[in-house]
Amino acid sequence: MSRAGEPRRHADRAAQFMPFAALTGYYDLVRERERVTEPRREPSEEDAERISSELAGTRPRELVRVTYYADGAYVTREGMVARMDLAARELTVVRTRIPFDDVWRVERLLSQTSPHSERPEQM
- CA torsion, points 41, 44, 50, 56, in degrees to nearest 10? 80
User: Residue 44 and residue 46: Cα distance in Å, rounded?
Assistant: 5
Q: Is the pLDDT of residue 100 over 60?
A: yes
**Do 17 and 59 share a domain, yes or no?**
no
Instruction: Identify the pLDDT of residue 120.
Output: 44
User: Within a domain: residue 27?
Assistant: yes
Per-residue confidence at 123, pLDDT binned at 50, 70, 90? very low
Domain total of the chain: 2
Mean pLDDT over each residue of the chain, to the nearest integer: 80
How is residue 20 annotated by DSSP? -
User: Within a domain: residue 77?
Assistant: yes
Instruction: Identify the pLDDT of residue 16.
Output: 63
12-54 confidence digits (pLDDT tens): 666 666 666 667 777 777 777 776 788 899 999 999 999 999 9
pTM, entire model: 0.62
- CATH number for the domain including 86? 2.30.30.520
What are the phi and psi torsion angles at 11 (to 5°)?
A: -65, -40
Instruction: Identify the pLDDT of residue 108.
Output: 92
CB 90 within 8 A of CB 97: yes
Give 12: exposed, middle or buried? Use CB within 10 Å, 0-12, 13-18, 19+: exposed
User: Within a domain: residue 14?
Assistant: yes
What is the mean pLDDT of the segment spanning 87-115?
A: 86
Instruction: List the domain range (segments joined by +) for residue 27.
Output: 3-34
What is the mean pLDDT of the segment spanning 78-94?
A: 95
